[in-house]
Amino acid sequence: MAAMTATPSSPVLKTALAGLHGALARAREDVTPFRHWTLDDVLPEAACQALVEWEPEPTSVAGDTGGRRETRNGARVFVEPQARARDARLDVMARMFDAPEGRAAIEALCDTDLAHTALRLELSLDTDGFWLEPHTDIGAKKLTLLIPLSEHPDAEQWGTDLMNAEGDSVVRSSGRFNSGTLFVPGDDTWHGFVRRPITGLRRGLIVNFVDTTWRATQELAFGPAI
């Protein structure tokens, strides 16, 4: 894909924003075990294609990380400015989430405030042996959206485990391609990944909006929040 960027008025960005608005409008809310929303068809088809085609260094693929992604910080993959410049499809996706219209639609659904936050987009690549300990995302992360992008026949079973305070899996979110699990981090938003077989590659996009205390600014799609 030729390097280019989308302008705020470009037709392709407007189409992407319309798709995001539609996904949010159709979102299904649940309160078990904490308030969250399930979405369908979150990303534009072109963005899905770009993320599926993206094959970073082999070291970016993770098996057992000891239950925390942070143990492999040097090998993680983000949609940062260089990635956006390299692939217009990723640039449009990032601008879709970061545009005032995109932010406003998310804020309206979740009744939250994303002012003074920055967009962080991580491509996760997990293999057999991977697991995540229970955590809440509370702190610098002000919004979390988890989007599965695995095409394996078993991928439906690879969704995130939504947990109680004891770390028990109460609800397993969908692992369906281009679905989404959206929540505002809080004291009760325990989630993780109970270790189970991954027969292939568990690929996904982790969308966060982070506040001004986020230190790893090289991970951000458009630089730090102000």
Count Cβ atoms within 10 A of the Cβ of residue 120 and give its class: 0-12 exposed, 13-18 middle, 19 or more buried.
buried
Q: Flag whether the pTM goes above 0.85.
A: yes
Residue-level pLDDT at 35: 99
Mean pLDDT for the stretch of residues 197-226: 96
Pairing of strands 202-210, 77-78: unpaired
Beta-ladder partners of 126: 62, 202
Q: What is the pLDDT of residues 122-167, one digit of tens each?
A: 999 999 999 999 999 999 999 999 999 999 999 999 999 999 999 9
Mean pLDDT for the stretch of residues 165-177: 97
Residue-level pLDDT at 74: 78
Q: What is the residue extent of each domain of the chain? A: 28-78+117-212
Percent of the chain predicted with pLDDT > 70: 96
Radius of gyration from C-alpha coordinates of the chain = 16
Q: What is the pLDDT of residues 92-118, one digit of tens each?
A: 999 999 999 999 999 999 999 999 999
Phi, psi of 205 (to 5 degrees): -115, 125
Specify whether domain 28-78+117-212 bears CATH 3.20.20.70: no
Mean pLDDT for the chain overall:
95
- What is d(CA 118, CA 212) in angstroms, rounded to the nearest whole number? 8
Residue 138: how many CA atoms within 13 Å on its side-chain side? 8
- Are 135 and 190 spatial neighbours (Cβ–Cβ below 8 Å)? yes
Weakest-pLDDT range from 1-15, 48-62, 121-135, 200-214:
1-15
